[in-house]
Amino acid sequence: MLDFAFYNPTRIFLGRGKIALLGQKIPADARVLVLYGGGSAERNGVLDEVRAALGERRVGEFGGIEPNPVYETLLQAVERVREHGADFLLAVGGGSIIDGCKFVAVAARYAGDPWEILSGRGQTIRSALPFATVLTLPATGSEMNSGAVVTRRSMQAKLSFKSEWVFPQFSILDPEKTFSLPPRQVANGIVDTFVHVLEQYLTYPVGATVQDRLAEALLLTLVEAGPRALAEPADYDVRANLMWCASLALNGLLACGVPRDWATHMLGHELTALHGIDHARTLAVVLPAMLRVRREEKRAKLLQYGARIWGCTEGDEDRRIEEAIARTEAFFTALGLPTRLGAYRIGAEHIDALIGQLTAHEMVALGEHGTVTPEMSRQVFLSAL
């Protein structure tokens, strides 16, 4: 029985030339701090467009936020907010910059130890600076959601938080700004989006027909548009659809009234924290192994997924399920993402440390049924070797 509340206050402006809207949408008297990453936004001209659109406003800038944004760097950004007297933040970049901006928006107004923002998973947040985003990499959905993931290097901890205070006020999605992405980041974004959908779809049936069909629409779009985005990097329509797909995959819409898994993501975060593997690449490794280990728990949805996305309708159930998982792996591999830990020189001897991290972070009863114990996570890593 469907039963849910859906709330998403973020406005989206998608299209060519939409960065110019910043001039209208940000208050004319705002003191803006622009946050960006390692320089891609400077090189491809996005920052110049942003500066022009902000016009006469008092604008400061803070660059150098890393992929998998680092807590220590973000605290420096908070200092910069205070120096500049900023009352509005603008994130220009991918998920890492947007997530970093969310943390800075909260930390700038936080009275206690900012570590509590992460250790308390967002529960202690009572306020945040307003902010908007200019998205340059479709992947995380951060431009339209209220979550963020931050890494504290000194603790090798990659932790997420969620709060209604960190929905962006609005996000600008100009598909042309993704043309400069290296193929690796395009492929990462497609796989991240695909797995976001599966974390909310590939669980067990609850009669949520609309939710299922929405999820399947996004998956089919990714299967079709993914390879094209790599083959034709300047195709506007392909990039526009991927951008919208990524936002819809994780803006709360698919989650309405359905069970959610997220175990693949939690195991993946530990791979990033200990081994520095790109977020999406961790998912490409963990997901197929997770599905194989938990095939009984997910049997009905695996059959539905196989039939509707990959046309797996021949043979007995077990064969169809294996085919659905193998097709998923082949999709990731064709995009250039390996599906085995061996590709990253991770062997059985590294698994204890990963399990230790999961336990330390209280990730001991994951998945839609809470069945993913440390022992089951071990099986998943072992079957991904």
What token pair was written down for 10?
């973020």
Q: Nearest CA to 197 among 173, 174, 221, 178?
A: 221
Name which of 39 and 356 has its Cβ closer to ligand NZQ. Answer: 39
Closest distance to Zn ion from the beta carbon of 264 (Å):
9
Q: Which does 146 bind (CB under 5 to 8 A by kind): ligand NZQ, Zn ion, none?
A: none
143 belongs to the binding site for Zn ion (CB under 5 A): no
Q: Which does 68 bind (CB under 5 to 8 A by kind): Zn ion, ligand NZQ, none?
A: ligand NZQ
CA 24, 26, 32, 38 torsion-angle sign: negative
User: For binding to ligand NZQ (CB under 6 A), which residues are involved?
Assistant: 37-41, 44, 67-68, 93-97, 99, 136-137, 139-142, 145, 147-149, 177-178, 180-181, 185, 188, 192, 250, 265, 279
Strand partners for 34: 61, 90
Q: Which stretch binds Zn ion (CB under 5 A): 149-157, 186-194, 325-333, 336-344?
A: 186-194
Give me the amino acid identity at 233: P
212 belongs to the binding site for Zn ion (CB under 5 A): no
* Contact criterion met (CB below 8 Å) for 110 and 117: yes
Closest distance to ligand NZQ from the beta carbon of 45 (Å):
10
CA 230, 234, 237, 239 torsion-angle sign: positive
Name which of 43 and 319 has its Cβ closer to ligand NZQ. Answer: 43
Closest distance to ligand NZQ from the beta carbon of 37 (Å):
2
Name which of 114 and 189 has its Cβ closer to Zn ion. Answer: 189
Q: Which does 119 bind (CB under 5 to 8 A by kind): ligand NZQ, Zn ion, none?
A: none
* Contact criterion met (CB below 8 Å) for 228 and 238: yes
Closest distance to Zn ion from the beta carbon of 279 (Å):
6
192 belongs to the binding site for Zn ion (CB under 5 A): yes
Closest distance to ligand NZQ from the beta carbon of 382 (Å):
24
Closest distance to ligand NZQ from the beta carbon of 260 (Å):
12
**Angle ∠(223,228,233) on CA atoms, nearest 5:** 140
Name which of 34 and 222 has its Cβ closer to Zn ion. Answer: 222
Name which of 86 and 357 has its Cβ closer to Zn ion. Answer: 357
Closest distance to ligand NZQ from the beta carbon of 114 (Å):
18
Site string for Zn ion, 100-119 (x = CB under 5 A): --------------------
* Contact criterion met (CB below 8 Å) for 131 and 101: yes
Closest distance to ligand NZQ from the beta carbon of 199 (Å):
9
Q: Which stretch binds Zn ion (CB under 5 A): 189-197, 343-351, 359-367, 371-379?
A: 189-197
Residue/partner pairs of 234-242 with CB below 8 Å, 24 or more apart? 234/179, 236/16, 236/175, 236/176, 239/138, 239/175, 239/176, 239/178, 239/179, 240/14, 240/15, 240/175, 242/138, 242/175, 242/178, 242/189, 242/190, 242/193
DSSP letter (8 states) at residue 144:
G
- Applying CB under 5 A, the site for Zn ion has a residue count of 1
Distance CA 191, CA 163 (A): 25
Distance CA 339, CA 333 (A): 7
Residues 6+ apart with CB under 8 A from 155: none
Name which of 192 and 368 has its Cβ closer to Zn ion. Answer: 192
What token pair was written down for 261?
């898994």
Residues in touch with Zn ion (CB under 5 A): 192
